[in-house]
Structure 1
């Protein structure tokens, strides 16, 4: 019997690099996976521990009304868009499961289409979601370069701003317009929305595709990065009411429910912006230290327009050689760019996700 064989999980391929970094006094400083390292706000943890009745019964798959209202208020307050909490927004169990599963539900909705379009250098789960749904994964570098035949077969097109791994900010207005012109659902992954930076080249606050209206678009948001709440697995999607309704109903049958106490705590997290400003300062400071570290090690990298990653070109295009070199010299573990698609193979990603003292340790080694 033959069938699909799951490929190695990208970060599992870093064991040899991590072993090199562990040889230095103080051990590795792991900057490969973008997992938060800072404390979850105490008020959020307190709400999580006071779940009470929220833990006793099954939570609503679509999210409690309190959670949906908190998410809608956050979108309006921080992103400058308006959605209806009752009909245009629903919960998901962390956004990775949504990214991985939504092509399957879209294929069931429209069997005449069989393609997921996604950025050529991007979060690998966009392509994996297509694979798991048994449809085509077709990458693009620019929306206006997508072949008409691929657009005609597309179930959806992914955009990601700020982008993982590059830190670029997409033109979300253009993305919404392209999707509507071609009749293709635009899925906008915005989990780093509150981590945008000002620079001479670009100055922008948080934004969302929902500013362009909800027709034909869905924005996907996570509390993992914003609130250091990744272990709780909670996020939401918002946009076109017809699609939100369809996905709500389909996901109920799969038993996809964010735990009740987590939804309760998420309300507290979404209602508070002060801790996000603290987190923004942490990430920006770390990005600057890491950029200096890389420059002194011979790997200059620009500061990003958004997100908390550095996307560094590898000399001679050999990202694996750079990863081994940085592990030996600085004890840091970075991600070769091929994890994010073949077009990223000449780069590597550095995540600002270790405490300041660990990053300073790595900087002192160079």
Structure 2
């Protein structure tokens, strides 16, 4: 008999499949608000670049093309007044693979440490990346404003920490973290900080902020065009920051064969140089958030707060699964129970306002009818 190895847990969103049949017993269609996948179109110029670059003929550079790097540097400078050199930038195949593989690569760099710290309420891949690497995944308690409470980290875990993940604006809560304080904490303890900033363009309380505003030493910012430019299907992202860490990751990722397709890099370059489509998308999401927050507050009898960032409503409730079922029954909407994002999220559901306006309108109409009935 062989010893039992790693058994992957059920993928969180697969646990919603039974609810789909329940919805179709009551409604003529499902409005999927469970996953943060964009439905609005990317700019025409981006699609044109995707189909006309001629770069499909040869292997693209794993680290990213010079043109892609230049567009990334321009974007950091234009949007955040941050200067980043090409040698401090690497390309990613979206950002999820980077999140999932990073602990393995960083563990090879520093085998004396075995712990990945991450927000207690967060994107599941932070913890899963640690487990896939055979490392300890240790959640960090959250403050009421949605940031991590680093004062609560056990000193023994600090000593063993290989890296710290933060996410601002955060998924699922929409909270903003004190990036300067987090960067300083990481430097003080010699722990690299990886700041997932994929929702940075959808910051509602103040302007978007990157951890690189507080210096580059010991920190790496991780970004994606999936949300910013409705480009999730193309898988384009990047990381930037500490020169030594970025150089190491660029080199090890070459050996792993992680390549962003040439046409995707060409299209991403065009997308990063255009801010107008982001302004349009911001307006769409903000209107949908407000509309859904209002109708969900009226329907549930509990105020649903607007987030400080991202495009999710983090809706409080006594029982996340019960509210998920009620939204499926009354609104024909598929949403995510908060426990998908950690045990501390059990008293919430996450509503992703990603569907086009006519689909959002359909959920609103159904819930308003349910309230009248």
Supply the distance in 1 between the matched residues of 2:323 and 2:112 (Cα, whole angstroms). 45
Superposed, 1:314-329 pairs within 5 Å as: 314=317, 317-329=318-330
Aligned residues: 357
Counterpart of 1:76 in 2: which secondary structure?
helix
Residue 108 of structure 2 corresponds to 108
CA RMSD between the two structures: 0.8
**Cα deviation, residue 295, structure 1:** 1.0
For 1:7 and 1:80, how far apart are their aligned partners in 2?
Answer: 42
Q: Distance in 2 between matches of 1:300 and 1:276?
A: 29
1:190 maps onto 2:197 in alignment = yes
Q: Which residue of 2 aligns with 1:339?
A: 340
Could you tell me which residue of structure 2 aligns to residue 270 of structure 1? Answer: 272
**Alpha-carbon distance in structure 2 between the residues aligned to 1:345 and 1:55:** 45
- Aligned residues of 1:82 and 1:211 also touching (Cα < 8 A): no
Structure 1 partner of 2:179: 172
User: For residues 310 and 19 of structure 1, what CA distance do their matches in structure 2 show?
Assistant: 24
Map Cα deviations across residues 35-69 of structure 1 (whole Å, 9 max, x no partner).
000001110000000021x1111000000011011
Distance change >3 Å, CA 24–CA 356, structure 1 → 2: farther
Match of residue 359 from structure 2? 358
1: distance between equivalents of 2:56 and 2:215?
Answer: 36
Alignment partners' CA distance in 1, 2:352 and 2:168: 16
Post-superposition Cα deviations, 1:323-361, rounded to whole Å, max 9, x if no partner, equal 101111111111000100010011110001111001101
Determine the structure 1 residue equivalent to 2:118: 118
TM-score, normalised to structure 2, is: 0.94
Match of 2:261 in 1: 259
- What are the superposed Cα offsets for residues 160-192 of structure 1, whole Å, 9 maximum, x if unpaired? 000000000000000000000000000000000
Q: Does the aligned pair in 2 maintain the 1:21–1:29 contact within 8 Å?
A: no
Contact 1:80–1:207, Cα closer than 8 Å, also in 2: no
Distance in 2 (alpha carbons) for counterparts of 1:14 and 1:252: 37
In the other structure, the counterpart of 2:304 is 301
Q: What secondary structure, in the 3-state scheme, does the structure 2 residue paired with 1:194 have?
A: helix
CA shift for structure 1 position 293: 1.9
Cα displacement string for residues 207-255 of structure 1 (whole angstroms, at most 9, x for unaligned residues) = 1000011100000000000000000001000000000000000000000
Secondary structure at the residue paired with 1:184? coil
**2:129 corresponding residue in structure 1:** 129
TM-fit CA distance, 1:126:
0.2
Q: Aligned partners of 2:283, 2:189: CA distance in 1, in Å?
A: 40
Distance 2:20 2:89 in 1: 41
* Residue of structure 2 equivalent to 1:200: none
Q: Distance in 1 between matches of 2:251 and 2:154?
A: 33
Q: Find the aligned partners of 1:81 and 1:144 in 2 and give their Cα distance.
A: 29
Work out whether 1:158 is the aligned partner of 2:159: no
Q: Which runs of 4+ in 1 moved over 3 A?
A: none
Corresponding residue for 2:139? 139
1:306 match: secondary structure: coil
- In 2 relative to 1, CA 358–24 (structure 1 residues): closer, same or farther, beyond 3 Å? farther
Give the distance between the partners of 1:17 and 1:92, measured in 2 at CA: 34
Between the aligned partners of 2:138 and 2:27, the Cα distance in structure 1 is 44
Deviation at 1:17, TM superposition (A): 1.8
How do 1:158-237 and structure 2 match up within 5 A?
158-197=165-204, 203-237=205-239
* Higher mean C-alpha deviation, range 280-289 or range 294-303: 294-303
